[in-house]
């Protein structure tokens, strides 16, 4: 066997072994993710407006939330028991799995289902909230599509966004130090208007 041929065979075996390992890991995540699809949607579109889109969300954010549901730092009677028995390593794999998927848009939404219309365009905000949302952009990015340190907000449902903004303000969601103060500085109707605007991006 020539040296070159031997090298090619070794490379092929290496590729094959790598190729066999990779789908096995992906298959595990996909199997675990099926439990999530029941609510977050097998096509990325949640079954109800009270459930957030997780497809295409920031992976560091998804992992932090799964970690916080697991530890009890973020309370949820639905999510906490679901992730309680999943290891942190598996939660990170799930976070990466969902973050790697494409954010669903209204183009992919069947009639009657809620989805973000686009990927955060330049629609001007209503005058009464225009100044108030400027400061959010420092963390949630100018187009609200997220990045360190803030999660994506553009295209989440108005119901879900408002519920979380109120929860930070009234002290029921406590897993971030800054958000409660920012939300208390807004009136309830400001929060509702901001949620509606963000859901349309």
Angstrom distance (rounded) from CA 188 to CA 170 = 11
Minimum distance, C-beta of residue 102 to ligand HEC, in the bound complex (Å): 16
* Least gap, CB of 15 to ligand HEC (angstroms): 31
Which residues contact residue 142 at a Cβ distance below 8 angstroms, ignoring those fewer than 6 apart?
A: none
Pick 16 or 138: Cβ nearer ligand HEC: 138
Residue ranges in contact with ligand HEC by CB under 6 A? 35-36, 38-40, 50-52, 54, 62, 64-66, 76, 78-79, 82-83, 94, 132-133, 135-136, 138-140, 149-151, 153, 161, 164-165, 175-176, 178-179, 182, 194
Q: How far is the CB of 24 from ligand HEC (least distance, A)?
A: 19
d(CA 48, CA 159): 10
- Going by C-alpha positions, the residue among 113, 128, 143 that lies closest to residue 194 is 128
**φ, ψ dihedrals at 185, nearest 5°:** -75, -10
Distance between alpha carbon 113 and the CA centroid of its chain, in Å? 18
Closest CB to ligand HEC among residues 9, 25: 25
What 3-state DSSP class applies to 154? Answer: coil
| Residue linked to tokens 């400001």 | 190
CB 35 → ligand HEC: shortest distance, Å? 5
8 or 30: whose CB is closer to ligand HEC? 30
Q: Which is nearer to ligand HEC, 24 or 131 (CB)?
A: 131
Closest approach, Cβ 96 to ligand HEC, in A, equals: 11
Nearer to ligand HEC, 5 or 59 (CB): 59
Residue 99 in contact with residue 62, Cβ under 8 Å?
A: yes
Q: Report helix, strand or coil for 188.
A: helix
């Amino acid at each position: 066997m020539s040296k070159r041929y031997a090298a090619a065979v070794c490379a092929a075996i290496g590729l094959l072994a790598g190729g066999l390992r990779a789908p096995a890991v992906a298959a595990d995540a996909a199997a675990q993710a099926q439990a999530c699809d029941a609510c977050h949607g097998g096509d990325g579109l949640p079954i109800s407006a009270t459930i957030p889109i997780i497809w295409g969300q920031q992976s560091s954010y998804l992992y932090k939330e799964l970690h916080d549901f697991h530890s009890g730092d973020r309370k949820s009677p639905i999510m906490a028991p679901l992730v309680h028995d999943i290891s942190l390593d598996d939660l990170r794999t799930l976070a990466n799995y969902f973050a790697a998927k494409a954010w669903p848009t209204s183009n992919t939404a069947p009639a009657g289902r809620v989805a973000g219309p686009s990927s955060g365009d330049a629609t001007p905000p209503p005058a009464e909230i225009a100044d108030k949302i400027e400061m959010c952009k420092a963390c949630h990015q100018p187009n609200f599509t997220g990045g360190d340190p803030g999660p994506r907000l553009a295209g989440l449902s108005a119901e879900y966004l408002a519920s979380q903004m109120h929860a930070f303000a009234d002290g029921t969601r406590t897993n971030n130090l800054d958000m409660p103060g920012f939300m208390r500085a807004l009136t309830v109707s400001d929060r509702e208007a901001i949620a509606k605007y963000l859901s349309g991006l």
